[in-house]
Structures are given as structure tokens and as C-alpha cells.
Amino acid sequence: MGWSWFDIHWCWIGLAISAALLTLLFGTNIFRGNIGISRWRDPLWLAWLAPASYMLHQFEEYGIDAQGVRFAFPDVLCGSVGMPPYPACSLPEAVFVAINIPVIWVAGLACALLARRHPFVGLGLYAIHFTNALSHIGVAVASGYNPGAVTATLIQLPLSLWVGYACFGPGRIIRWGAAIIVAAGAAFTVILLVSVNMFAKGMIGASMLVIVQILNASLVVLVPWVSARWVMQPVR
């Protein structure tokens, strides 16, 4: 099929969206839920920070990585399932958009929009921050740098750990709510990796692989939404 313009350049659009969101987050109070506390302890502000910061990670994977390589991650994913790099890799080009845009641009922004009334749902995207960071860092420790490892180490892991500290505990969200968030991220990652491996082994087709990624994105909204009634305490 070949790469479309959007397949290659969507991460640059995401970088522009991230820059706009970060400017508003740090330069205004538009995304503050409570200006009486630090923005770093404000669940609403942190909910909006989640997609804005993740888009920086996407740029390292699909824009220019820390070694100056452009559009590096697709060949890495192909190699992880025993396939050669493109153009010989048979993973459908559309799968990379299907993995990234529904979960970050759509589900992540949906979480942020819901955060004012549903703080636990608002933090749902940190499920992906945490589990994805562990994946990148684990691979980096085992075999060296991989596209996304720098932002995983400097942004995703510290930010997700901070959210766990700042938003969960007495007077906030019940602590085991953080485990629900992590479980949602783990489920997302397992479904992604299992489906890619199933495609590599000829067990599912390209269309099914893409559909699975699109549906998979709903976990970061649905899991916190279903669980919210059991974990919410008054948020300070």
C-alpha cells in the first residue's frame, strides 16, 4: 500500500498540538481546576498534561529520535516480531496511526475533557504513560537505546509516578485506584503486542490488526469510568 503523507507527518501535527497545549498549561489558568493549589497537584491540570506530554514521546518515536534518525519506530516494531525493516516488513502502514492517534489524540483528550467532573477518568491516560515507559526503559537496559527511550525516562516515568503520589491517597482518590490505572495500561500493552504477534504469525489479517488497535484505545476511558464509583474520595 505504501506510506501516505499523514502516516509520516502526523507526529509533527501532534508536536504542534503539544506546543499549544503546553503553552496554555504553563502560561494560563485555563486548564486549572483549583487555583488555590499547585497546578502539579491539580487533577484537572494533570489530566490535560497527559496528552500534551505524550505527544512529545510520539515525536521521538515517529519524528526525529535522540540519535537523529527520522521515523525510526516502525522498523523497530517490525524487528520485534521478527520481520525485516520496511519496505519488506508486512505490518500495514496504517497500524501505526491506529496505535497512536485513537489512544492519545482521541481517548487522551476525552479523558481530559471529562476530568472536571470525573477526576479519576481524567487520569486514565497515565495508564499508557507508565506501562509504555517501563517497556521502553526495559528494552534500553537490555539492549541499548530505542526510539522513545529518552522521553520515556525523562517525561513518562517521572510524570506517572508523580501523578500516583499527588492524586492518590487520603482525601484524594483511593490508593488502589492507581493499580486500576496501571492494569488498564498493562491490558492495552498486552493486547497491542499479542495482536501484532498474531498478525506476524498469520493468525489475523491487516484489517483486523488495525481495528483491534482502534478499539484498544477505549480502555483508558472505559476502565476508569467503570471503576470510578469505587475509588473516588473528595479530591483536595
Evaluate whether residue 151 is within a structural domain: yes
Evaluate whether residue 115 is within a structural domain: yes
Evaluate whether residue 211 is within a structural domain: yes
- With beta carbons less than 8 A apart as the criterion, state whether 212 and 191 touch: yes
Count of domains forming the chain: 1
Evaluate whether residue 215 is within a structural domain: yes
The pLDDT profile of the chain, 236 residues, written as one tens digit per residue, is 689 999 999 999 999 999 999 999 999 999 999 999 999 999 999 999 999 999 999 999 999 999 999 999 999 999 999 999 999 999 999 999 999 999 999 999 999 999 999 999 999 999 999 999 999 999 999 999 999 999 999 999 999 999 999 999 888 888 889 999 999 999 999 999 999 999 999 999 999 999 999 999 999 999 999 998 777 654 44
Evaluate whether residue 236 is within a structural domain: no
Owning domain of residue 20? 5-231
Evaluate whether residue 74 is within a structural domain: yes
Helix or strand holding residue 44 (H, E): helix 43-62
With b for 16 or more beta-carbon neighbours within 10 A and e for fewer, the 125-139 pattern comes to bbbbbbbbbbbbbeb
Q: For the CA atoms of 59, 135, 128, 12, what is the dihedral angle to 10 degrees?
A: 10
